[in-house]
């Protein structure tokens, strides 16, 4: 049986340690590692003269960059410093994952250094069930937790001055996650966050190719929701483009059923996109189990919404 590799990243003060601990307990995974510990080991091998950013915190690593004048604004500088800092830790994280897979042991890893795009998770997908999540929080909640955490671990004072930098890192991780189709979960409520993560871990998914007009979007969504499914992303196949245009659907934080038709601008944009793609697109659809997913695909087919993927890809 393949082991599980569960990665939970976020900026400091979002609550990832608590969530990771609960996930580890509920799934009976005995190995739970913080990337901060991995970073300390790397620091023991690579000195500050060679890697000054590594020996700073994630939020002030930018102060070590020698080419700071090359960045358009401070936000870009902070992002670059953070990425420089994380890049020294990533190879060691990947080594830990490889060892876990070799030993056929599941593992939960949490930390700010888990950056989508920097961490190559695809290399593990054939040998493990890999699940990557980025947690976030509203600014007010983040600030409150950030202060509480700093006080709890007795790192008040200087660390509290870096909330703005941490917020920039939060936004950067969300951007990277959206770019790499990594789920972003707003950690407003611990139980809801845990439920979403556990549901995602246990889900099965499949890419389904469809052709229908914008007017049938509600029918499509109703069928998918009927069996507990969700759309993870949409790929639009535009004839003039070699690669499909992929749009990530972030429904992890939307607990309400907003009617997209009430947004005339959004509907107009979708109609243009559907016209460009001749109404052809595909969804990565996930469901709680294989039976539910099969029912979704069957009903979509019965409504003549599904088409043969070979008609698109050939």
Q: What is the CATH number of domain 203-313?
A: 3.30.1340.20
Residue with tokens 């009976």: 28
Asked whether the beta carbons of 10 and 136 are under 8 A apart, the reply is yes
For the cut 60, the answer to whether the pLDDT of residue 259 exceeds it is no
Please give the Cα distance from 169 to 158 (Å, whole number): 17
Out of 175-179, 182-186, 258-262, which region has the weakest mean confidence (pLDDT)?
258-262
**DSSP annotation of 5:** E
Mean pLDDT, rounded, for 238-244:
84
Rounded CA gap, 182 and 133, in Å? 6
Per CATH, the homologous superfamily of domain 4-199 is P-loop containing nucleotide triphosphate hydrolases (3.40.50.300)
With helix as H, strand as E and coil as C, how does 239-300 read?
Answer: CCCCCCEEEECCCCCCCCCCCHHHCHHHHHHHHHHHHHCCCEEEEEEEECCHHHHHHHHHHH
Angle of helix 74-102 relative to helix 35-45, nearest 10 degrees? 90
128-160 pLDDT per residue, tens: 999 999 999 999 999 888 888 777 765 554 567
39: pLDDT confidence band, cut at 50, 70 and 90? very high
pLDDT (mean) for 6-20: 95
pLDDT on residue 244: 86
* Distance, CA of 108 to CA of 274 (rounded, Å): 40
Q: How confident is the model at residue 303 (pLDDT cuts 50, 70, 90)?
A: very high
Ordered by start, the domain boundaries in the chain are: 4-199, 203-313
Judged by average pLDDT, the poorest of 7-11, 167-171, 239-243 is 239-243
Q: What share of the chain has pLDDT > 70, as a percent?
A: 92
Overall average pLDDT of the 104-131 stretch: 96
pLDDT for the residue 313: 60
Confidence of residue 170 (pLDDT cuts 50, 70, 90): very high
- Long-range interactions of 297-304: CB distance < 8 A, separation 24+: 297/206, 297/208, 299/223, 299/226, 300/208, 300/210, 300/220, 300/223, 300/224, 303/216, 303/219, 303/223
Of residues 118, 145, 129, 159, the one with CA closest to residue 35: 118
Q: CB 302: neighbour CB atoms within 10 A?
A: 10
Long-range contacts formed by 139-148: CB under 8 A, 24+ apart: 139/167, 141/187, 141/188, 142/11, 142/13, 142/14, 142/166, 142/167, 142/170, 143/13, 145/13, 145/14, 145/15, 146/12, 146/13, 147/13, 148/13
pLDDT band at residue 229 under the 50/70/90 scheme: confident
Is 68 or 55 the better-scoring residue by pLDDT? 55
Tell me the C-alpha distance between 221 and 229, whole Å: 9
pTM for the full model?
0.73
pLDDT value of residue 153: 64
Q: How many residues does the chain have?
A: 314
Instruction: Classify residue 30 as exposed, middle or buried by CB count within 10 Å of its CB (0-12, 13-18, 19+).
Output: exposed
Residue 295 has pLDDT above 70, yes or no: yes
- Average pLDDT of the chain? 89
């Amino acid at each position: 049986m393949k082991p599980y590799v569960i990665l939970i990243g976020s900026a400091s003060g979002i609550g990832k340690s608590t969530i990771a601990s609960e996930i580890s307990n509920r799934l009976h995974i005995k190995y739970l590692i913080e990337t901060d510990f991995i970073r300390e080991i790397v620091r023991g091998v690579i000195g500050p003269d060679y890697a000054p950013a590594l020996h700073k915190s994630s939020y002030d690593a930018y102060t070590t960059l020698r080419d700071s004048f090359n960045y358009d604004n401070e936000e870009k500088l902070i992002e670059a410093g953070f990425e420089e800092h994380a890049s020294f830790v990533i190879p060691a994280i990947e080594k830990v994952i490889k060892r876990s897979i070799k030993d056929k042991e599941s593992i939960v890893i949490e930390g700010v250094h888990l950056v989508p795009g920097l961490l190559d998770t695809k290399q593990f997908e054939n040998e493990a069930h890999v699940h990557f999540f980025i947690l976030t929080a509203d600014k007010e909640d983040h600030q409150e937790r950030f202060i509480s955490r700093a006080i709890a671990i007795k790192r008040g004072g200087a660390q509290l001055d870096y909330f703005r930098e941490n917020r920039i890192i939060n936004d950067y991780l969300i951007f990277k996650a959206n770019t790499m189709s990594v789920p972003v979960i707003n950690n407003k409520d611990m139980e809801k966050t845990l439920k979403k993560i556990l549901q995602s871990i246990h889900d099965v998914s499949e890419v389904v190719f469809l052709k229908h007009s914008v007017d049938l979007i509600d029918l499509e969504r109703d069928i998918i929701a009927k069996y507990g499914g969700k759309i993870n992303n949409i790929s639009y196949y535009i004839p003039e483009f070699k690669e499909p245009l992929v749009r990530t659907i972030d429904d992890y934080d939307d607990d309400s059923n907003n009617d997209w038709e009430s947004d005339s601008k959004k509907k107009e944009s979708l109609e243009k996109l559907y016209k460009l793609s001749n109404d052809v697109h595909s969804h990565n659809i996930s469901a709680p189990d294989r039976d539910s997913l099969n029912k979704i695909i069957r009903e979509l087919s019965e409504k003549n919404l599904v088409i043969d993927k070979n008609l698109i890809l050939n």
